[in-house]
Homo-oligomer: A and B are copies of this chain.
Amino acid sequence: MFLDMAMSLDGCISGPDGEDAGLHDWYFAETGAAEDIKAELLTRIGAIILGHTAFGTAPDGFDTEYRVPHYVLTHTPLPTVKRGGATFIFVTDSIESALSQARAAAGEKDVCVAGGAQTAQAFLNAGLVDELQLHLAPMLLGGGLRLFGDLDTVTHLERVRVVQSQHATHLTYRLREK
C-alpha cells in the first residue's frame, strides 16, 4: 500500500485557513513529467482509502478519474454510494479492515491512501505503509494541517525516485524495516 499526497515544503496539506494556494497545481498541469505521474497513478491504483474529512471536503458534483472502490473511514455507518463514477464504501471498524477490503477490491493493482493527515498518520503509526509518494510543492504554507504531525517513532526511508515537474518535485520513498 502506498500513501500519495501533495505537501508544501513546510509539511502542510492545506494552509491555516484551509487554502490550497496552488498545492495541487501539478495534478492539473497535464504536461510533461506531471502528466506521466498522473497516468502512472491512474494505472496503478485499484482502490483508494480516504478519511471522512478528506471525503467530506470533496466539492459538490464531485467527479473522479479514479473509477475504483473508495473506502472511507468514518465513525458513522453509511450505505455505499456511487458518486461521479466511483463507489464509496464506508468503513467503521478499523484501518486494518479498510486496508483488507481495499486490497481484495484492488486485486493485482495497488491500494492508495490519499488523505487526509489523520488517516495518513494512523496508517504510518500502524506500520502499514510500504511506500510514500509526495508531490512537494514549491511553497511554505506557514501553518495549517501538517501531513505527518507527531508520529510514534522515527521512520527511516529509502529514496526510490525523484522527478521534477513544473509545479512540484515528486519524491518516492520505500519504508525500511525497523
Contact = CB atoms under 8 A, between A and B. Distances in A.
| Majority secondary structure, A binding face | loop
Interface in A109-155: 124, 132, 134, 136, 138-143, 146-155
A141 to B, nearest CB: 6
Copies of this chain in the oligomer: 2
Interface of A: 9-11, 15-16, 19, 21-22, 124, 132, 134, 136, 138-143, 146-159, 162, 164, 169, 171, 173
Contacts of A154: 15, 19, 21, 139-142
A173 B9 contact: yes
Given A19-B154, A136-B171, A141-B154, 7 more contacts: A9-B173, A15-B154, A124-B140, A140-B155, A142-B148, A142-B152, A162-B162
Contacts of A158: 138
A151 B143 contact: yes
B156 A22 contact: yes
A162 B170 CA distance: 11
Contact of A169 (B21, B141, B153, B171): B171
A9 B157 CA distance: 9
B173 A134 contact: no
A10 B147 contact: yes
A118 to B, nearest CB: 15
Contact of A155 (B134, B142, B162): B142
A162 B159 CA distance: 14
